[in-house]
């Protein structure tokens, strides 16, 4: 083989591997995209940003009468206030096996909304509505914990969810 021919062969070989690498890169990106779309791996996706006037949370809108309302055959929305230092309503009563959409906001400072024994764990910011969906498979009582430092009563800020049969 003359040098020119060797060079051509090497070039074709390199091109082949380059094409292969690009194809693999594409496959991996496609797989990641597919996984993101079809699986959440236990992570609750963040809801769309929804704003509310923190000064009016207690006087008007759905948060002024915090509570659980039925929105479908087996669907409920719980409007929850996280305030210094507690949650409203308390307890939050929901049925077992139903899809519960928690909508939580704060009329004052940043709080947390973490529910023991579940993967519910969201930040609650004044001016924003945090949305998280959950279906309780077991009846019983679940403690709500504030995991954002919010002031002098932070360590005593708890709530309760009662899941009924
Ligand atoms: Cu509310 Cu810490």
CB of 149 within 6 A of ligand 1: the answer is: yes
Q: Could you report the per-residue pLDDT of 75-133, keeping only the tens digit for each?
A: 999 999 999 999 999 999 999 999 999 999 999 999 999 999 999 999 999 999 999 99
* Ligand 1 proximity of 144 Cβ (cutoff 6 Å): no
26-30, 36-40, 66-70, range with the lowest pLDDT:
36-40
Question: What count of Cα atoms within 13 Å lies in the side-chain half-sphere of residue 164?
Answer: 5
pLDDT of residue 1: 63
57-84 b/e with 16+ CB inside 10 Å = b?
beeeeebeebebeeeeeeebbbbbbbbb
- For the question of residue 83 being annotated catalytic, the response is yes
State whether the beta carbon of 104 lies less than 6 angstroms from ligand 1: no
Quote the mean pLDDT of the chain: 92
| N-term to C-term CA, the chain | 82
Is 146 a pocket residue for ligand 1 (Cβ < 6 Å)?
yes
Catalytic residue among 83, 102, 113, 136: 83
Atom of ligand 1 minimally distant from the CA of 109? 1
């Amino acid at each position: 083989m003359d040098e020119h021919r060797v060079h051509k062969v090497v070039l074709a070989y390199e091109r082949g591997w380059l094409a292969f690498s690009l194809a693999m890169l594409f496959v991996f990106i496609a797989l990641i995209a597919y996984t993101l779309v079809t699986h959440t791996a236990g992570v609750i996706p963040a809801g769309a940003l929804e704003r509310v006037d923190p000064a009016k949370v207690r006087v008007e809108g759905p948060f002024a009468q915090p509570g659980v309302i039925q929105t479908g055959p087996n669907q409920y929305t719980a409007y929850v206030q996280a305030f210094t230092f507690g949650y409203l309503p308390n307890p939050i009563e929901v049925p077992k096996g139903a899809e519960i959409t928690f909508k939580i906001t704060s009329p004052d400072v940043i709080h947390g909304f973490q529910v023991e024994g579940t993967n519910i764990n969201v930040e609650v910011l004044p001016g924003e509505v945090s949305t998280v969906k959950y279906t309780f498979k077991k009846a019983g009582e679940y403690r709500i914990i504030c995991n954002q430092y919010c002031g002098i009563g932070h360590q005593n800020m708890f709530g309760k969810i009662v899941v009924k049969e």
